[in-house]
Amino acid sequence: MGDVNMLEPLVLIVGPTATGKSAVAMGIAKKLGGEIISGDSTQVYRGLNIGTAKASWEERKVIPHHLIDINGPEEPFSVAEFQQKATQAIQEIRQRGRLPILVGGTGLYIRSVVDPYEFAEIETDSELRCSLQQELLEVGKAEMHRRLALVDPQSAERIHPEDVRRVIRALEVFRLTNQPLSHFHHLKNSLPSKYNAVWIGLNLDRTQLYQRIERRVDQMIEAGLIDEVQGLLEQGVDPNSNSMQALGYKEMVGFLKGEYSLAIAIELIKRNTRRFAKRQLTWFRRDARINWFDVGIEVNQEVLTEKICQIICRTINFHVE
């Protein structure tokens, strides 16, 4: 492998939800002349604003943001598409002499950009998909996840049993190709790293994290999440589409359909977000490249940003142009 300093610089800000990744990224971008690329699998969808915690228009005017609002809420969007668009955005940012900062909590999306992932494009089989959905109705979520674990343990470990859409997709791929989905999401170890990357991870005490999550959900409700979801449904967005499976949206759809009360919907969002944060942390903890920072109540944001900027400049030898 050649000199790592000859590779293009890239900063990654990762960690569980509600740890303030966006705010830290904004601070770094201001100090180092950067532009932000969203590494969130739900912020790509137009119309999903409150529940995905997108950067405000004011923030986007101050610092350019990329890969936000690039897809209609009913259009499918894959990690392979994200990989291609994020790679293009990084190239364009570097051509402007700016520092690309990839920010998010969707582990596979982040890794697909930095590491040499290859994705095989596998067509959807509508008949098989319907058959699997009928199978789900007959045997239930837990059994479908168990069946996935038998044929593709790697995907089963990565996919939560409640995420039935992805469980069905993984089973569909296996039955179409006789290969596990994980076979198509593999690393080509013979390829070198794409970037001179510095990984920054944000985390805090679990009690504080869960308190932040619950406060954020309450703020989303106050900001109009119910009306936002209602509006999407009234526009004709299919409640079973990928976008509407996002945290906060799926649970709110259930409330709007009369399946349970608002209080239960809010508690479901909080519970599912806590579980999601735990899975995010498990994913990122496996990566030894990440420099972890505590972002608890007592941490001064400016001091934290300055420390991170020092690590970035030292690690990737980057200087503002």
Return the pLDDT at 175: 84
Return d(Cα 266, Cα 288) in angstroms, integer. Answer: 35
Residues of the chain with pLDDT under 50: 1-2, 190
pLDDT at 187: 53
- Tell me: the pLDDT tens digits for 21-36? 999 999 999 999 999 9
Domains and their CATH numbers in the chain? 4-116+188-316 (3.40.50.300), 126-186 (1.10.20.140)
Q: Is 265 exposed, middle or buried (0-12, 13-18, 19+ CB in 10 A)?
A: buried
In this predicted model, what pLDDT tens digit does every residue of 126-139 receive, in sequence order? Answer: 778 888 999 999 99
pTM, two decimal places: 0.82
Q: Which helix (H) or strand (E) holds 185?
A: strand 185-187
Both tokens of 233, joined, read 């449904």
Query: Do the beta carbons of residue 76 and residue 271 sit within 8 Å?
Result: no
Distance of alpha carbon 22 from alpha carbon 13, whole angstroms: 8
Measure the CA–CA gap between 183 and 151, rounded to whole angstroms.
11
Per-residue pLDDT, 1: 44
CB 104 within 8 A of CB 38: yes
Contact 94, 8 (CB under 8 A): yes
Which pLDDT does position 6 carry in this prediction?
Answer: 77
**Long-range contacts of range 28-33, CB-CB < 8 Å, 24 or more positions apart?**
28/101, 28/305, 28/308, 28/309, 28/312, 29/63, 29/99, 29/101, 30/62, 30/63, 31/305, 31/306, 31/309, 32/99, 32/309, 32/312, 32/313, 32/318, 32/320, 33/97, 33/98, 33/99, 33/320, 33/321
Q: What pLDDT sits at residue 182?
A: 73
